[in-house]
Structure 1
């Protein structure tokens, strides 16, 4: 039997950060997924978590756990697939360090991901976006901070983690006309900022507390703003913005919706999906094609490029083919 604890500790604390260069968000997500799995397994097997052996993580146990988080924790299939990806990554790590687990690893890798729906993305109209950007109270320091966060998140199409991870050194000094972003997969990009975005950012920096933390956006304790903190501030301003844009009440506005809105407005302005991919920091243009399904202008341009085809109805009568003849004979027999 193979003890789980030492291998899992080395995987999370050494292999992922040192050998794979995984981000803190990835490590946190993987660690939380294993925490849920180990607690589930301990209850099922009636053992202490520290006594669990790797061989006890059978495909049946993992499948039961995945069903458990969907039914009892009401997780979506996308979350289920993310947990399964973490488990597969760990067993891939074990293949070279615990050969006795090789057969079990192959069985875990055979567990299929669940097919997920690909709904149309949510985004804001220009009127809704402007109402949201104007919602923070500019008479307070927190209002200036929130206004700057909203402007930068939209203008640069940032993920919540990218926004909260910005540091003072990431600003293009002295004009502050660019920002340096480290995105998903450690991909770096430098993005220019509009004049309006530069202005609201400078307004915040003038009142930003001069504390030791080098994060651009700070919370009330003077620490770096968290992703949940930004989402909370966004939700509060969405409620305020509903007064001038009532349609916001029918939308679920998350930080990622600002990123989607930036992408669609960029696609509308440039008409080039490759530029949108570069702006958002996508590793593949396939990730950006979701915006083509939403933008009606792209579909109208396709319709305008040609006329409806004049197709005549065809028939298979009189067609002689050896394969079809054999199949017809087989049916008679």
Structure 2
């Protein structure tokens, strides 16, 4: 039997940060997955977590765990697949660290992901976005900070982790004309900022309290702003903006919706999905194509560029073959 704890510790503390160069957010997400998995396995097998073995994490147990987080925790299929990706990564690491577990590793890595619906993204229209950006009260320190956070998230199309990781030194010069962002997969990009965004940032930096940390945005206690803290402040301002733009009420506005809104407005302004990918820091164009599916202007352009085909009336001839006739009936029923 191969004890699980030492291998899992080395995977999280050495392999991910040192050998793969994973970001702290990625490591935190993986650790959260294994926290849930280990607790589930210990409860199911009636053992202490530290007594679990690699062999205990069988494909059947992994499937039961994935079903449990969907049913009991209410996780989406996408979250389920993200958890599975972390588990697969660990067992791929085990193939080299514990060759005796090779067969089991291959079996666990063979657990299939769950198919998900490719739904259209949520985003705010320009009037809705302008109303939201104007919602924070500039007469208070919290309002000045929140306005800067919203402006920067939208203008640069930032992920929440990218926003909260920003430090004072990520602005190359005092003009605040550029911001340096370390994105997903440790891909760095530099973006120019709008005049309005620079003004909002300058107003915040003028009153930002002195702190031991160089993080750009701080909470009431002078600590770096958390993901939950930003989501809470966004919810407050969404409620305020909805009083002036009632259409916002029907939309589920999360922090990532600001990034989607930036992408959609950039696509509308440039008509070039490659520029959207460059702005957002996507590693693959496949990630950016989702904005094309959500943009009605692209479909209207297709309609305008092509005339409807001319069709002539014809006569339908039923299939003479019995098998083809049966297949035709089955197709019509489906």
| Fold match by TM threshold 0.5 | yes
Which residue in the other structure is 2:259 paired with? 259
Deviations 1:20-57 (A, max 9, x none): 01111111111111111111111111111111110111
Which residue in the other structure is 1:120 paired with? 120
Deviations 1:101-156 (A, max 9, x none): 00001111111000011111101111211111111111111110000000000000
Hey, what's the Cα distance between the residues in 2 that align with 1:48 and 1:225?
35
Hey, what's the Cα distance between the residues in 2 that align with 1:188 and 1:101?
37
Which residue in the other structure is 1:280 paired with? 280
Alpha-carbon distance change, 315 to 54 in structure 1, aligned in 2, over 3 angstroms: farther
Which residue in the other structure is 1:292 paired with? 292
Once the 2 structures are TM-superposed, how far is the Cα of residue 312 of structure 1 from its aligned partner? 5.2
Hey, what's the Cα distance between the residues in 2 that align with 1:68 and 1:125?
37
Which residue in the other structure is 2:330 paired with? none
Q: Which runs of 4+ in 1 moved over 4 A?
A: 311-317
Deviations 1:247-302 (A, max 9, x none): 21211110100000000000000000000000000001110011111111111111
Which residue in the other structure is 1:143 paired with? 143
Which residue in the other structure is 2:332 paired with? none
Structure 1: runs of 5+ lacking an equivalent:
318-324, 329-333
Which residue in the other structure is 2:28 paired with? 28
**1:78 corresponds to 2:78:** yes
**Stretch moving more, 186-195 or 220-229:** 220-229
Which residue in the other structure is 1:62 paired with? 62
Which residue in the other structure is 1:271 paired with? 271
Structure 2: runs of 5+ lacking an equivalent:
325-334
Hey, what's the Cα distance between the residues in 2 that align with 1:152 and 1:291?
20
**Stretch moving more, 241-250 or 306-315:** 306-315
Hey, what's the Cα distance between the residues in 2 that align with 1:315 and 1:291?
42
Deviations 1:203-253 (A, max 9, x none): 110000122211111111111111111111100111111111112121111
Hey, what's the Cα distance between the residues in 2 that align with 1:142 and 1:68?
40
Hey, what's the Cα distance between the residues in 2 that align with 1:129 and 1:313?
50
Which residue in the other structure is 2:99 paired with? 99
- SS of the residue corresponding to residue 135 of structure 1 reads coil
Which residue in the other structure is 2:327 paired with? none
Which residue in the other structure is 1:331 paired with? none
Hey, what's the Cα distance between the residues in 1 that align with 2:285 and 2:56?
41
Which residue in the other structure is 1:9 paired with? 9
Hey, what's the Cα distance between the residues in 2 that align with 1:314 and 1:214?
74
Hey, what's the Cα distance between the residues in 1 that align with 2:171 and 2:260?
23
- SS of the residue corresponding to residue 293 of structure 1 reads helix
- SS of the residue corresponding to residue 212 of structure 1 reads coil
Root-mean-square deviation (Å): 1.8
- SS of the residue corresponding to residue 181 of structure 2 reads strand
Once the 2 structures are TM-superposed, how far is the Cα of residue 315 of structure 1 from its aligned partner? 9.1
Hey, what's the Cα distance between the residues in 2 that align with 1:261 and 1:47?
48
Hey, what's the Cα distance between the residues in 2 that align with 1:93 and 1:316?
60
Hey, what's the Cα distance between the residues in 1 that align with 2:174 and 2:18?
34
Hey, what's the Cα distance between the residues in 2 that align with 1:247 and 1:116?
28
**1:53 corresponds to 2:53:** yes
Hey, what's the Cα distance between the residues in 2 that align with 1:239 and 1:303?
38
Which residue in the other structure is 1:156 paired with? 156
Which residue in the other structure is 1:39 paired with? 39
Aligned length: 322
Alpha-carbon distance change, 238 to 316 in structure 1, aligned in 2, over 3 angstroms: closer
Which residue in the other structure is 1:223 paired with? 223
Which residue in the other structure is 1:243 paired with? 243
Hey, what's the Cα distance between the residues in 1 that align with 2:299 and 2:117?
22
Hey, what's the Cα distance between the residues in 2 that align with 1:90 and 1:144?
43
Hey, what's the Cα distance between the residues in 2 that align with 1:13 and 1:173?
35
Hey, what's the Cα distance between the residues in 1 that align with 2:316 and 2:87?
52
Alpha-carbon distance change, 34 to 313 in structure 1, aligned in 2, over 3 angstroms: farther
